[in-house]
Structure 1
Amino acid sequence: MTFTVRAITLDLDDTVWPIAPAIDRAEAALDAWLQRHVPGAAARWPLEARQRLRSQVDLDRPHLAHDMTTQRRWMLERMLEEAGEDPALAEDAYEAYFAARCEVEHYGDSVPALDRLAARVPLAALSNGNACLRRIGLIHLFRFQLGAGEHGAPKPDPGIFHAACEQLGCPPAQVLHVGDDLETDIAGAHRAGLRTCWINRNGDGPHGRHPAGLPGPDLEFPTLAALADWLDAAHPQESPRP
């Protein structure tokens, strides 16, 4: 299948890098910070208790469930206060967590593929997470990064896709959204009028992973490198953008 692609929006977590190792690293960094600076809070809030509290925070403040940064900071303030510590320390605790959360390990194909894609069309990051591409060192490959917290609503809400298209200066039908999640990325972008590409790194077939009634992707590849190959083949006469 070929169609016009004037810009690409990309999901980040589990598309450019696996999220689980980054979260494990972040929780370990937070544990170390708590044990060093507020050992009473560390004893009161081991990992399992923090995970339960994190889920409860979204239930208590559903209007902010899309904003992971705000919810995490408020959670840390609550942890410290309930442990009898100064809640003002939450900012330092968050920095320890977030710095490690941004120490991602890219999939082997990701960075070379992003280099190739960015040489052809503008890229924009479109994520429900809160990773910082500037800290990670990839912001130079992207026109901008738009997160659910910044926008005010997460994927699959069509508004976040439309906001990205407007900022890119392209109609939705000429923007390809790339991601790993069939509901938030593929169905959400499809409903917003974008073309879609499912990065299916696990080789999962449509049965069992594709929820009934959701639209399928326009493209499906196991890696971002394969997507870059497709873009080169689908638009062979186009010169790389300056």
Structure 2
Amino acid sequence: MLPSSLDTHQSPGSAATLDVGRIRAISIDLDDTLWPIWPTIAKAEEVLLQWLTLHAPATARLFANTEALRAIRNQMVTLRPDLVHDLSALRLESIRLALVQAGDEPALAEPAFDVFFDQRQRVELFDDAHDTLAFLSARYPVVALSNGNADVQRVGIGHYFTASIHAKEFGVPKPDARIFHEAARAAQVQPHEVLHVGDDATADALGALAAGMQAVWLNAAGHEWPHGSQPHATVGSLSELCRLLA
């Protein structure tokens, strides 16, 4: 069930119409919007396992594959719900728990996480991501708005953005309206003047609608829209987004 903060001003099932003339700023999600996230995470987990094999062999034996590392990370969501907005802390504490369970030194969690985090920033952008960001940033202030822990500077796309806002630093994740409103403040516009773009139907599109923004749902996989109130537009690619705004 969605929290009450996600109630939108549209009647269930209503279709919004994108008003391009109203847009004065763009906020945009990162993971699975500008690059595919799971290949990145899988590679980072492989690099982490290689590091553990050298520095914490008992942990590497107990958690012998990336599926096991991901499982204990997912377990940490239940154990530490206070960290749900901070994916870095969740991953760090899951590594620490793995080390403790295996009898290795818990202090190895920090250097192990650093190895994981460095690899996590080595994303492979979608083919049209650079062109899209160049198109958007030439026309509007663009704010990165993410629940994840990608660093746009380390990724190499920081020059496109006016600001980058993460749930970790802000304290609450999307779809909470407050983080969307913070993006509007960072762009020095009102929420209704922001177009938010993202792949997650709930966290991105529905969250933006509830915050009073226009929303474009990036639906590359062709999923059915799962909610009542509709986004202002749905696109299958970043290139299609550019054509929509041209």
Give the equivalent residue in structure 1 for 2:8: none
Give the equivalent residue in structure 1 for 2:244: 230
| Contact 1:15–1:199, Cα closer than 8 Å, also in 2 | yes
Cα distance between partner residues in 2 of 1:31 and 1:39 = 10
| Contact 1:165–1:171, Cα closer than 8 Å, also in 2 | yes
| Contact 1:114–1:224, Cα closer than 8 Å, also in 2 | no
1:106 aligns with 2:121: no
**Residue 83 of structure 1: CA displacement?**
2.0
Give 5+ residue unaligned stretches, structure 2. 1-17
Give 5+ residue unaligned stretches, structure 1. 233-242
1:159-206: CA deviations, max 9, x gaps? Answer: 1101111121110110000001111111100000010011121233xx
1:67-95: CA deviations, max 9, x gaps? Answer: 10111111112222222222222111111
**Residue 151 of structure 1: CA displacement?**
1.1
1:120 counterpart SS class: coil
| Contact 2:45–2:69, Cα closer than 8 Å, also in 1 | no
Within the candidate set 226, 234, 237, 1:211 is matched to 226
State the percentage of identical aligned residues. Answer: 41
Give the equivalent residue in structure 2 for 1:84: 103
Cα distance between partner residues in 2 of 1:127 and 1:48 = 25
Normalising by structure 1, report the TM-score.
0.89
1:177 counterpart SS class: strand
What number of residue pairs does the alignment pair up?
Answer: 227
Cα distance between partner residues in 1 of 2:227 and 2:116 = 37
Cα RMSD over matched residues? 1.3
Normalising by structure 2, report the TM-score.
0.88
1:203-233: CA deviations, max 9, x gaps? Answer: 33xxxx32243x211122222122222222x
Higher relative contact order (CA 8 A, sep 6+): 2
Give the equivalent residue in structure 1 for 2:60: 42
Give the equivalent residue in structure 1 for 2:189: 170
**Shift in alpha-carbon separation, 1:76–1:141, aligned structure 2, 3 A:** same
Per mean C-alpha deviation after superposition, the further-off stretch among 41-50 and 177-186 is: 41-50
Cα distance between partner residues in 2 of 1:26 and 1:15 = 19
Cα distance between partner residues in 2 of 1:229 and 1:96 = 39
**Residue 50 of structure 1: CA displacement?**
2.1
Give the equivalent residue in structure 2 for 1:115: 134
Give the equivalent residue in structure 2 for 1:238: none
Give the equivalent residue in structure 1 for 2:4: none
| Contact 2:143–2:186, Cα closer than 8 Å, also in 1 | no
Cα distance between partner residues in 1 of 2:227 and 2:87 = 29
